[in-house]
Structure 1
Amino acid sequence: MVPNRLISNNIRLWKKFILIYVIVTIIPIIVLEYFLSDSIKSIAFKSSLELSKVSVEQLDENLTNKLKVYYDMADGLSNDLQFTKYLNTEYTSPYEALNDFNLFVKPLMSMLNYKNSEALIRVYTKNSTIGFSGITNHSMDDLAKEGWADLSNPGGGTIKWAGAGNSINLSNKEYLGNYRFLFSDTSEYKPNSVLAVFFRKDELYSIISKEVEGGKKIFISDAAGNLVLSTEHEKKYVNLNEVPFEEEYRKDSKEYSFARYDGSDYIMLRKQIDHPSININHWSIVYMIPAGAVHSSIQQIRMTSVVLSVLCIVFSFLLTMLLSRNITGRISKLLRKISNVKRGNFTISDEAEGTDEISILDNSFNEMIERIDTLIHEVYEAEIRVTKEKLKNSIIETRAREAEIHTLQSQINPHYLFNTLESIRMKLLTKGDRESSDIIGMFGETFRLALSNHNDIYKLSDELRFVESFFLIQKYRYGDRINYEKDVPSDVLNVYIPKLILQPLVENAIYHGIERKAAGGTVTVRARIADGKLVIKITDNGAGMDEDELNLLRETIHKSNQADTPRGYSGIALRNIHTRLSLLFGDQYGLVIHSGKGIGTEVVVSLPVTDAS
């Protein structure tokens, strides 16, 4: 006995799988987790920082859009000629002032949607003749007493912002606002009036209210550092320099810095706001993110990566066990088969699935056993074939008997009927009724064609002659309402087909298609040889069928017996033709029907190309 050179040859197969799994999967995952930890932290931090930058940009946009509404309101009022004319007019009577107020100021307020706005508009003026309304009844002395406007620098009519740092208190409420000096004489630049638009400070708090929920701190200040808006408004900071940021420093980045505020660590972002179009220049946003929240997010991401790693290990372990069980299980089955053969049992319980080496080995073993059991299987399969053949012959015999009974019922002494029809035709001809005589003659001819040839097949040309005779008879009934067209090449006319398969289809096209259409229509017969088959298409442009009717008809022609045909539905002739063709030539031949409501119907007949033999 030759000793094994490798220790692995003495280890069970499933243990080898476990060893490979530990070496290939678990060790690499642990190593990657260890070395990628810092990278995960860096990526998570950068992701949080980028999201914060987006929030700052959105905050800038929201603030600007909000302030622009009130800037446009002040700009629109101060540039309105009628409004400024009203302010600069010295009225002789209150009635004239009231009349101009109703004519010019009120419509302007409506246009600005003043009543539905949160804005508070005031005009401080030296013109005492207009001081009766809630808007214009404030004097320049009142403005000086309120003290929120810089009266020393009119600024050439520029709209300025007010209320940063110390809010404007009106009616015991905090306001921010903008104002513009209005001049009656621009050459001297001495203001005659001041237009002010105030808005509640609470409106701006709604912009940053959601940020407070995450523990973030936000400070928005003007160019002088005066606080316009802050999440710390309850602490009454007036200027940004008053906010006690401790130990602010940067760490390898100009985009952010670290600061300590109110006993907590924050990551600080600064952004300068410049929007000259609404006179906002060198304002700034200080956006502070709790460092603990960022670290918590990083820790959560790291925990997620650890959980995913564990899940990968568990999943791969289960997959390895499943693969191991699959391989060892199939090998065990093969060993049991070998044991059964040793005991003389040559029955194969199952076949191997797959194309791997084990399956090939199992299938080769099965083939070896099947050689012994071949005779039993051949006999069994032969019996099945005989049974199927008997069943098919039984169906053909049944159809033949049905056709024979139908033929016996329909044949009422053909020669007697021919002679009677001829006598009627000659009688009508003698009386001068040539039209009726011709109809009887054509009917006799079609009847003779149907019964004179005792064979089951004849040429396509014979079938077409029979169809044309039948159509001429229908022409006498319908007149110009029906037309017949034929598109059959000469090389197809000599192909042999089963007898009387086209005439019922043409008859159906007339009765169920053309007759139901008030304007009439055309029946077209086309025949071609394609892919070794004779394909005949009977098409009409009559009433057609909808989807439900078409499906019912298709179901009808595939019924196995007449009892299955839906009551009152005309599909028996089509079913008989389809059954005859399928039984004679195989299931690949028969009828296919296409139709559309209001478009027409097409019946496609497929046959093998046969000769007289």
Structure 2
Amino acid sequence: MKRKSLSRQIYAYFLIVIVLSLVSVGAVSYWQSSQSLDDQVKQYMEQMVDSANYQTDSYLQAYELLSNAFSSNSDVRAFMEIKPDDAYEYYEYSDKIKKFAFASIESIVTLYKQLNMIYVTGQHGRSVVYENQNLFFNFDPVLVQEKFTNLMKMTPIDGKIALLNMSIRPADQGSVVTMARKVRGPSYKDENRGVLAFEIKLDELAKTWDRVSLGKDGFFFIVDDAGNYIYPRSMSERQPNDELASQVLTSGDQTFLSKYDEEERMFVSRKSGYYDWNLVASMPVKELRRPVNTIRTTTIIVGLITLAAALWLAFRFGRSIVRPIRELKDSMRETEKGNWQYIEDAGRNDEMGGLIHSYNLMVTRLSDMIERVYEAELEQQKNALELGESKLERQKAEFQSLQLQINPHFLYNTLETINCYAIVQDSGEITEMVEAMAFMLRYSVQTNLEEITVANELNHVRNYMIILQHRTEREFEIDVVIPPSLLLEKMVRLTLQPLIENIFQHAFPEGVEERHSIRIDARKEDGLFQVFIEDNGTGMMPERLAELRKKLEENRLAEPEEASTGTKRGGGIGLMNVHRRIQMVFGEAYGLSVDSEWGRGTCITMKMPETTRPRLRG
């Protein structure tokens, strides 16, 4: 199996972290800046349109006040009821209206430039027209009657003002907008007798709208509620109530995106507070997004430069970590061959320097130990020749015991080296498994069976569960309800963990599920110290339970052929062996008892004396 290079793994991890960081930060920054710029542009356009709408409403409100003054003027109302052929009466009221109009217009200087003409026309066919040049003249009766009929149709019957895209003079058509209202006679009770109208120059009023700065390709226009384009003149050539006008009327005061002349544009609409005009500002989306595109390009360039610099630093950092590890690996290979090779630590004070120091210390101790072993072996051979065969055999046994002590020591150091590798690679799972395995190994190789507490056995079970959970990649918690006062009670070594392992192998044959549980409890009763291990697994069939109880009564260790029956556990330590080992320590009155019900679970009870320390029985 080909090993993965640690330097490549470190470099790959750095690459993933850096790319994820840059992409996430860049994406979030780009998205937030885009949203912020879009909101600012939208807010700017809305403010511009609101400002134009406010000024337009102010102008139109001033005309509305002027219209109120005219419509309530007694001379204007009396003019509506003059006789069509009475020239003197017509002249008299025309003169009075002239003086009133001149005085009113001169008093409101702000309306002077925008006003094109004022005219009063009645159903009798006579009219008075005031132009901005202050001239009064009569229109052709047929023309006046035609305009009068249209005005009467288009103005509200209740006397409210209507804004109309028309002029009584063909030459002014399209360049003015007419503010008109119906006027009653002097009695206020008669029906509407005529129309009062103001023609306002769009060119003068447009100076207010032209202040709306919308960039190179932006523009401003006005649509009334009927879908007619009021301003500018270029828009008046479009068909009334076309797709764009319909979208404006449908959106109300909402901002929307739409295509105009094959270009995606943003439209901001505001309806006049006094009349049926919709003021609309439009800008191309690509122009709105130009700052965002600049930010995106800048972010990508800066991100690439940052990525290149970070990868170079990651390469240098990876080499600084991997180089001493490679030296350590090469030295360990030489040590395996019997060549005790030391590593120069070069004055390092970091974790890697500590690892090298530990390795050098291990090599020194192993070298000294092997040397002492050889010396002891030579001494033993010399003594064997002098003391005889019986003494030689005893020295050989002592030498074998020394070897048994050396081998675990070397294994512990090897596990510590693996743990160091795991720490360098930031692998918490490997670290946890190695530490649990080391504790279990140290606990298992001790040969004495006495002086073991419940707490020691529970700690051994905990290390076993750590390894089991990493092997199965599933978490499982054992419910320990033993009173704290019983945790220092004496029991036999390596008796609790084999029972837990037996449960996982036989009580849960289909694998551990969420409903499965294991419970450990203990109590003192009638001079006995009892430990209970319960599970809610499959349980045992009655015949299987009877067979197991019979074997427990026979007080014998498990034989190799019994492995197929399930009584053999973990290298020969099963239920039968645990039972017999308890009896060897405490006596044949103690051991295991089993209670089980098929489909309900099993309870295993460990019975031991309540007395002080146990005694080993021969």
Considering the TM-score relative to the shorter chain, is it more than 0.5? no
Q: TM-score range by the shorter chain?
A: 0.3 to 0.5
- Return the TM-score normalized by structure 2: 0.37
- Return the TM-score normalized by structure 1: 0.38
